[in-house]
Structure 1
Amino acid sequence: MCLNLKKGAIFVADSHFSEVNVEFLSFLEKLKKKEIETSQLFLMGDMFDFISGESRYFVKINQKLIDIINELSHNIEIIYLEGNHDYNLQKLFPKLKVYKRESQPIFAKYENKTIALAHGDIYTPKGYDIYCKIIRNSALLIFLNFIDFNYWLSKKIYNKLIKKSICSKMKDFDSFAKKRLSYYNSDIVVEGHFHQGKHYEEKNKLYVNIPSLCCNKKYTIFDGKFITTQL
């Protein structure tokens, strides 16, 4: 499937929403109040510090955001690229276009350009691919729910996640971006995941890393170019 990228589209990545990273809620509330406006929204993955469709505790504590996103989806085309912290989401967001890791990259067109979009945790070593399949396994997640009495396991995971440091800068972004471009067959590559919020261009090809909303308090607007914008 190839989407048409619209002028004014907004890209948001890696907000890792939790009680200590609340920027995503602020962003969604501004969309709801039309302080921020768009007809097309790309959620580039890791929007929640953790959530899956099977995880009762994490669905419960994130229900306010789930409800706002579903409300917005009646008027905005929302594309959700699942990340490594948020997956098996289609049941939570029935009107969204939700793409699992194995369906990424997805492709969009703008004028004569082809744009590849992914959360970013693809083209990785085989061991990581196996790990991703295991942690996304629905039967395993349902079983973990079954033994999660009084949410002891979920709370343990949550407390570990909110203490984790996730914001750092790469020493050689250009070399990294050049390598990422080599994995894709497109004019433009757009990824989240890496929390850098930088661009790299080489031989008429462009690599765009969407900034982490929780690290940089920024998102990206597409207006023919990818423009970094302060929340």
Structure 2
Amino acid sequence: MIESIRHFFNLLFDNSRSWTFRAAAGISIIGFLILTDLVLNFTYNLHTNNKINQLEKIQTIKKEYKTDSLKLQKIILLENIIIDKEHYTEFINRNLSYINIQTDIKNENRNEIILASESPYSLFWMSFSSNYLIAIILPFLIFLPLYNKESRSGKGILGWFASLIMIGLMTVLITWISYQIPLIWNNPVYNYILNFLIHTIFWFTIIKFSSNKKNDTN
């Protein structure tokens, strides 16, 4: 595995290669490292252990400054900051899996805002309606090396893997953007329809623009 990583880095910094090839190598390296980290939980465990060590030290410091209220308050503030620190997987999961709905409830003295913990949306339908063309193309891309001889070469495999990473990142980004649209008429179905229309118009515009540009060149 170490040899494979070293080989990827050699490809990345090889000036004799084209910039597109090196870009694909860079994307592949990043994607490989992220996938490995997600499987092995290396950075998550490191992040968690680091937080625990910091909190243990703070508990000791709190005892030393328990008579100094001003410093103790700052130490407690620092403790809360450390507790609230998120690993990147926690941040992504929190932002993609949940949508907080604000509901105003009138009270005699003030308006209270309650944050609901459950999302009215289906993650599957939000993802599919926002990326249905990508979802259709994805199976063909995944099995590309099986029926395309060129994609089984070293350069082809690199480009194939980089394409999967780019499509995955694009899908996550588009899905996240779709979650930012407010709930329409208290029915998520209208959001799915809107996502479908936006996705269709977006890709139709890109294809139309590319076609016009190609005709102008010819």
Relative to the length of structure 2, the TM-score reads 0.25
Question: Which structure has the higher relative contact order (CA within 8 Å, separation 6+)?
Answer: 1
**Structure 1 or 2: larger helix share?**
2
TM-score, with length taken from structure 1: 0.24
Task: Give the number of the structure whose residues are more often strand, by fraction.
Answer: 1
